[in-house]
Amino acid sequence: MPELRDLYDINSNKTDRTYYKGDKIPEGYYPMVVMIVIRNSKGEFLMQKRVASKGGDWGVTGGHPKSGETPREGIITEVKEELGLDFSGENIIEYDSGCDKKDCYKMYFVTKDIDLKEITIQEDELTEVRWFSMEELKDMVERNELNENQISCFIKVCDFLNKKISNEFFECEADRNGKYYRVIHTVKEYNDGKRFPLNEIVVSDKKVDLNATKREDIGGFYISTLEYIFRWIIRGDTLCEVTIPEDTKIYKTTSENGIFVADKIILTNPIKLDEDLVMKLYKESKLPEISYFKAMAASAISGYINVALKVLDDKVTKDNIEIAINEIDDFCKRRYGEKYINDDVAKENIDILYSKLKEIKDNQN
């Protein structure tokens, strides 16, 4: 059966009209087209080659949202169907939108390193996927191997990338509608006596400074995504979802640990941290290897010793044992100064961790 899709007006507002793929579009109504440019940390772009019956040309992932889907949900569906990848938790940024004489469109951008072996292509749609450098894409344009829509897509994404924030600490403006999280205290107050209220706008004492030259001058609230929040569990006893108010911008920092900042946030859906939840956060995390060593110490200090020992078993080897010990030493030294390690449980758990590390080091010798 043909796919049912929604129709939009000239201002990209969804109407109550729908159509089936292949139907004639009534005058004054427009289909919605969504596309996503996927770039890796090397600056390469993921392209897919369509089957001969669909033109056999190269292009970015895209298509039409199904009826009932938002454009953002539609592009996530297209990525899942065409590449077999789940982008529901990714920091997808809308970088261009509009309506022309034929379609309404929304263009998205995401930075993500993807092993091509992880991709399962939709065989009735695609024959091949691969990474292309910008120089290779320019050569394809010269050889007329990219159609006008694809060329327009890359011209616009290049404009977007050229406008990205030029600063040591900031990478770009992020998607306000992304899924963000923050760990907060609910049992004890912070050192300044404040507590974060729930379900209302909280304003930072210091606004985000895009011209900051020191990390401590960045300002705003630090928040993260599900893949990186495991690193922050020492900061409290409760995990909250974070909503960014409509009048607020959120910025992605250059940190490899998935740090975002915003002047205003709304904390919702609080969940009390326990060992099961922290273990789940660890298993879903995608931290750089070196960050796991400090997160391991944070787990121990926070009372989640089983999680800490699981991280140790998974991540510490005879080859990185010295790095692990140095990272934990540095982390604990700072946490003693911040009075995080001030109870018997925290001290006992750190002793257990050091004992296990010593066993690995002794066995190495």
Q: Rounded mean pLDDT of the chain?
A: 87
**Strand segments (E) across 70-229:** 93-99, 104-111, 126-132, 170-173, 180-184, 201-203, 221-224
pTM above 0.75, yes or no: no
| Last residue of one domain, picked from the residues 275, 306, 323 | 275
Q: What angle do CA 332, 337, 338 make, to 5 degrees?
A: 95
Torsion of CA 171, 176, 179, 183, to 10 degrees: 80
- Continuous segment of H or E residues that includes residue 331: helix 321-337
Which range, 24-38, 144-158, 180-194, has the best average confidence (pLDDT)? Answer: 24-38
- CATH of residue 92's domain is 3.90.79.10
CA distance 326 to 352: 16
Q: Are residues 75 and 204 in the same domain?
A: no
Residue 195 lies in a domain: yes
pLDDT at 120 over 90: yes
For the stretch 241-258, pLDDT in tens is 999 998 898 988 888 888
Q: Are residues 48 and 157 in the same domain?
A: yes
Q: What angle do CA 197, 201, 204 make, to 5 degrees?
A: 90
Q: What is the pLDDT of residue 168?
A: 63
Q: Are residues 39 and 129 in the same domain?
A: yes
pLDDT at 63 over 90: yes
Contact 102, 8 (CB under 8 A): no
CA distance 78 to 95: 18
| Last residue of one domain, picked from the residues 162, 184, 211 | 162
Q: Chain centroid to CA 330: how far? A: 27
CA distance 270 to 189: 16
Residue 283 lies in a domain: no
Q: Are residues 231 and 350 in the same domain?
A: no
* DSSP labels, 245-310: -TT--EEEES-TT-EEEESEEEEEEEEE--HHHHHHHHHT----HHHHHHHHHHHHHTT-HHHHHH
Q: How many domains does the chain have?
A: 3
pLDDT at 165 over 60: no
Residue 132 lies in a domain: yes
CA distance 64 to 84: 17
| Last residue of one domain, picked from the residues 243, 275, 307 | 275
Residue 280 lies in a domain: no
Q: What is the pLDDT of residue 309?
A: 94
Q: What is the pLDDT of residue 192?
A: 54
Q: Are residues 305 and 236 in the same domain?
A: no
**Any idea which residue has 């939840």 for tokens?**
277
Residues spanned by the domain of 221: 170-275
For the stretch 261-280, pLDDT in tens is 999 999 999 999 999 999 99
Burial class (CB in 10 A: 0-12, 13-18, 19+), 78: buried
When pLDDT is averaged across residues 198-224 and rounded to a whole number, the result is 86
Q: Are residues 187 and 136 in the same domain?
A: no
